[in-house]
Structure 1
């Protein structure tokens, strides 16, 4: 379906969907495109001068709500499992006494030390995990670690005997919990707001645009003008295709003679990422 007669100049188009539409040559200059979805849209020669992209408050609220709902569901499950574990723990203590406490403390310490020292590798896998399962997976992990930390704290200070030995794994658990919390916050900040995924943006004008949390994955970007645009580190260009672009007011072509080589586009665009 063609939208050639539409003019969206200086409008607020937050959270609008233009999926698969033919918007070639349309004027979007000065518009607020946060939350818009241009997936597979045809935007050849479209004018995006001075537009703003990124997340809307509605998208942020939805992400937070999904996290809260996931955490609430997990809290109920953890409460039931905690009750079962406490019952089993009490029975084992009655059977084996302080020997059981020492052995369980040693094993829990070893487990948490391994979690702490291998946290670098674990957190490298978090982006793949969160993208597959969503933010709820991180909220569930945060709830688990929080309950573990609080449980260790309660046992350490109220268990008597040698329960104080659990203070070390409690501290380690608290550190890991904080790491998960910071990753959870970062996952919300890095969520995609505006999508140009698989869109045809050939010869589009992005002069003086503010590009945040935007997905250009698999998009056609040959001939776009990026004079004065600003990017954030959450914008994606994975597998986008671009032979050349124009990067200054004089519409100077880059690369000057040849086309972009593999990974050259990504390195060039990194110069425009704002701090």
Structure 2
């Protein structure tokens, strides 16, 4: 933990990170600290009078752009793969790839429902499956559907996303994984939904009911993932004092809308 006591009065410090630093008695009075990260920072006696805290417009725009790009890429890949397998049967060539598609879509969907229990393990598994799916699709399509290169791309994509989600503590990575998870869940819901319709149309009511229930559960998990993604985008662009020590810190006249004080010590002063 570094030991710093900067004189930052009346400065634009938007999107700066002071995470984990020792800033006891630092003077930030009059500063614009929107989007700053003070997580787990020592700020005893620090002066935050008249600061402007809250959501950073620049960071919010960047996060939204990242979310849109990820959603577009994942949706394109999943949609093209799903429409390529509709109506295929187990007797046709390539059935193993169809099963792999079900698995790759089902894993992120299931992971979104177990995140509260499994935490980062569920996130890493979801990221691995999504990365493998994207690697398989884009490596294959760019090489004329070469199966060996597609499989190699799946391995590289899965390993890369597993490493990023487990090792890189970045809001961008977390948001990208959550968005990919939501799109994969929607794709899975659509895929099993078509199976439900096919089963019900042939009067196979039991199998149709099972597929329908699975599709409904998937849709609920998709909604949960979308809500989580929105929450992450919002919180990642805000000023964060999460876990900071704010004992005797001064906030007179400060604008603290959209500021995270969860787990902070000494705020509000009492």
TM-score (norm 1): 0.53
Answer yes or no: is the 8 Å Cα contact 1:3–1:22 preserved in 2.
no
Using the TM superposition, give the Cα deviation of residue 23 of structure 1 relative to its aligned residue in structure 2, in angstroms: 9.2
Larger Rg: 1
Show the counterpart of 1:261.
Answer: none
Using the TM superposition, give the Cα deviation of residue 181 of structure 1 relative to its aligned residue in structure 2, in angstroms: 1.6
Q: Please state if 1:135 is matched with 2:175.
A: yes
Using the TM superposition, give the Cα deviation of residue 137 of structure 1 relative to its aligned residue in structure 2, in angstroms: 0.1
Separation in structure 1 between the aligned mates of residue 186 and residue 51 of structure 2, nearest angstrom: 41
Using the TM superposition, give the Cα deviation of residue 82 of structure 1 relative to its aligned residue in structure 2, in angstroms: 2.3
The correspondence for 1:193, drawn from 218, 235, 238, is: 238
Show the counterpart of 2:217.
Answer: 172
Using the TM superposition, give the Cα deviation of residue 146 of structure 1 relative to its aligned residue in structure 2, in angstroms: 0.8
Q: 1 or 2 for the larger relative contact order (CA 8 Å, sep ≥6)? A: 2
Show the counterpart of 2:89.
Answer: 91
Closer/same/farther in 2, CA of residues 65 and 210 from structure 1, 3 Å limit: same
Show the counterpart of 1:226.
Answer: none
Separation in structure 2 between the aligned mates of residue 18 and residue 191 of structure 1, nearest angstrom: 12
Closer/same/farther in 2, CA of residues 188 and 127 from structure 1, 3 Å limit: farther
Closer/same/farther in 2, CA of residues 66 and 164 from structure 1, 3 Å limit: same
Separation in structure 1 between the aligned mates of residue 229 and residue 5 of structure 2, nearest angstrom: 40
Q: 5 Å matches for 1:94-109?
A: none
Separation in structure 1 between the aligned mates of residue 222 and residue 256 of structure 2, nearest angstrom: 32
The Cα offsets for residues 120-142 of structure 1, whole Å up to 9 and x where unpaired, read as x4334457847563200000000
Closer/same/farther in 2, CA of residues 125 and 210 from structure 1, 3 Å limit: farther
Separation in structure 1 between the aligned mates of residue 110 and residue 38 of structure 2, nearest angstrom: 41
Separation in structure 1 between the aligned mates of residue 198 and residue 29 of structure 2, nearest angstrom: 64
Closer/same/farther in 2, CA of residues 2 and 167 from structure 1, 3 Å limit: closer
Which deviates more, 203-212 or 51-60? Answer: 203-212
Aligned residue pairs: how many?
203
TM-score (norm 2): 0.53
Separation in structure 1 between the aligned mates of residue 32 and residue 242 of structure 2, nearest angstrom: 18
Separation in structure 2 between the aligned mates of residue 177 and residue 39 of structure 1, nearest angstrom: 30
Closer/same/farther in 2, CA of residues 191 and 14 from structure 1, 3 Å limit: same
Q: Going by fraction, where is helix more abundant, 1 or 2?
A: 2
Show the counterpart of 1:243.
Answer: none
Using the TM superposition, give the Cα deviation of residue 84 of structure 1 relative to its aligned residue in structure 2, in angstroms: 5.4
